């Protein structure tokens, strides 16, 4: 079981991700709807989540900027970057994401990625 922090501006995707994750026993410990909120909430989480699921296009602060800031604050945090915009793959990886996936992500791919990232911890 992994603990997960979802950073995504689409409310419906929060519900979908939470439902998908719960099937495998993973727990969503926090949610944020933009990068600014993600930075603020992450700093308050104790213990820190095992995984951060990060979107790209969000109001106030995009996912690449949020990934950079989160990695500066916590170099060991594990970020799964999920975006419909594949052109940002390289920037997301350079910002510190462990994995980049194109939306829509398939449930079995998400489960596999989480298992791989948490088993290497």
CATH numbers and ranges of domains, the chain: 6-119 (3.40.50.2300)
Average pLDDT over residues 70-90: 96
pTM of the model: 0.95
Q: Is the pLDDT of residue 121 over 70?
A: no
Q: 61 pLDDT band (50/70/90 cuts)?
A: very high
Looking at residue 120, what is its pLDDT? 61
**Taking all residues of the chain, what is their mean pLDDT, rounded to a whole number?**
95
The side-by-side arrangement of strands in the sheet containing 27-32 is 27-32, 3-7, 51-54, 79-83, 99-102
**How do residues 99-114 score in pLDDT, each as one tens digit?**
999 999 999 999 999 9
Looking at residue 92, what is its pLDDT? 98
Average pLDDT over residues 48-58: 97
Specify whether the CB–CB gap between 64 and 92 falls below 8 A: yes
Looking at residue 117, what is its pLDDT? 96
């Amino acid at each position: 079981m992994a603990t997960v922090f979802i950073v995504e501006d689409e409310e419906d995707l929060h519900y979908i991700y939470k439902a998908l994750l719960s099937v495998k026993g993973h727990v969503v410990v926090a949610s944020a709807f933009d990068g600014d909120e993600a930075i603020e909430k992450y700093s308050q989480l104790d213990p820190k989540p095992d995984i951060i699921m990060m979107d790209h296009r969000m109001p106030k602060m995009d996912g690449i900027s949020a990934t950079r800031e989160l990695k500066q604050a916590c170099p060991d945090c594990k970020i799964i970057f999920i975006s419909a915009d594949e052109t940002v793959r390289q920037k997301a990886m350079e910002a510190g994401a462990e994995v980049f996936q194109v939306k829509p992500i398939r449930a079995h791919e998400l489960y596999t990625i989480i298992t791989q990232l948490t088993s290497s911890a």
